[in-house]
Amino acid sequence: MLKDCIFEKGEFISVFSGYYENENGAAPDHEILFGAGQFFDNCFTDIPGSKPAEDFSNAVRDAGQNGQTVVVPLTRAIAWALCRICDDIKNSPVKQGSHARLLEALELLRKPLKKLETTDGSEVRDMFRFIKNNDTTAKLLNSYKGLRVFHSAEILEICGDDRIIMQVHPEQIKALEIEGYTCITHKLLPQQITADVKSMDSASGVVEFVNLVILKKPFDRRKIYRLQPEKPITAVLFAEGNRTEVEIVDVSLRGISLRLRENTVGSESEVRISFTLPLDEGKEMILRGKLKYIFCEEICKMGLETFPDHSQEALIKRYLIERMKKIEKELT
């Protein structure tokens, strides 16, 4: 919860960063954080003539272009952060005009961001009809516990300009159940299309998608970004003279996400973290790291950039390969 229901930029960025990580599978980079910061400044400071809805649209567009990342998860992440702020302030006194500006920005999120679309709904419909008539299949892109899931999907029915029914791969079903949306790709499509799951039949593999949005930038997902361990890995975080028990909830070659009860780390902190990966040799590892983001609700989630040496990197690679194989088995 935000302290005392006061708008504080640092806390907004922290909440936003955590939701962005959950939606996008990677911590926001500098350009993304700058765009979110611009949005905060424009909405929560008394700037004469400020237009928060327009400022928000521009900030999101610029962040998507400059950060070379997908725009839709960014808008969802900001929406979640704003909704959290709304929950905190709805029954509390706030600076005059701030609540109205916030609601104006949230209202924008309920509509397609026209500045972020490249074509209208009828063109999306026509693209899918062309694919269906040529008897080819599109592909869907999702992730499952950090592993990319990318399979062909057959178009069964095109319903108006903003709804499509598809037959999807069983592995895709498992990923869709977790993520709730997908990215549709095809060699005949000039851009990728994101779509939200409205309904699905897991047994038959039939899924109804809505809210089709064409992306200007590719939905870029690495084959592996951060894999979730089978069980959280216990670890000890050393920062600013404090020793804190934490849990590692996902791992990449040069980054980890942690779960902890309370924040004991400053925004510019360099840290050390000690843990043992679940490998046969059970060798303890102590990594240097730097705080990338933290957000706290009932518990705190923290993202670290880590700096393994050559031997540590080899061990992490081996763990990621073994974990990837286990996740692949879960999907089959």
Report d(CA 112, CA 119) in Å as an integer: 12
pTM score: 0.61
Say if residue 104 is in the same domain as residue 127.
no
Select from 69, 96, 116 the last residue of a domain.
Answer: 116
Average pLDDT over residues 255-261: 90
Residue with tokens 């950039």: 305
**Is 181 a member of any domain?**
yes
Per DSSP, the residues of 149-187 read EEEEEEEEEE-TTSEEEEE--HHHHHHHHHHSEEEEE-T
Average pLDDT over residues 305-330: 94
**Is 84 a member of any domain?**
yes
Say if residue 11 is in the same domain as residue 74.
yes
Burial classification of residue 99, based on how many CB atoms lie within 10 Å of its CB (0-12 exposed, 13-18 middle, 19 or more buried): middle
Name the nearest CA neighbour of 166 among 179, 182, 178, 187.
Answer: 182
**Is 187 a member of any domain?**
yes
pLDDT, tens digit (0-9, with 9 covering 90-100), for 96-114: 455 555 555 555 444 434 3
Give the domain extent around 304: 233-331
Residue 143 pLDDT: 87
Total structural domains in the chain?
A: 3
CATH classification at residue 175: 2.30.110.10
**Is 36 a member of any domain?**
yes
CATH classification at residue 324: 2.40.10.220
Average pLDDT over residues 165-185: 93
Residue 198 pLDDT: 93
Q: Are 216 and 243 in contact (CB under 8 A)?
A: no
Say if residue 209 is in the same domain as residue 303.
no
Summary count for the chain: helices (H), strands (E) = 8, 12
Tell me how crowded residue 190 is: count the other CB atoms within 10 A of its CB.
Answer: 10
**Is 225 a member of any domain?**
no
**Is 226 a member of any domain?**
no
CA distances from 151 to 118, 139, 148, 193 (A): 25, 5, 10, 15
Say if residue 99 is in the same domain as residue 197.
no
Burial classification of residue 131, based on how many CB atoms lie within 10 Å of its CB (0-12 exposed, 13-18 middle, 19 or more buried): buried
Q: Are 149 and 177 in contact (CB under 8 A)?
A: no
Average pLDDT over residues 180-204: 87
Residue 88 tokens read as: 């905190």
Report d(CA 109, CA 5) in Å as an integer: 22
pLDDT, tens digit (0-9, with 9 covering 90-100), for 196-243: 999 999 999 999 999 887 776 555 555 456 899 999 999 999 988 889
Select from 116, 132, 161 the last residue of a domain.
Answer: 116
CA 245 distance to own-chain centroid? 26
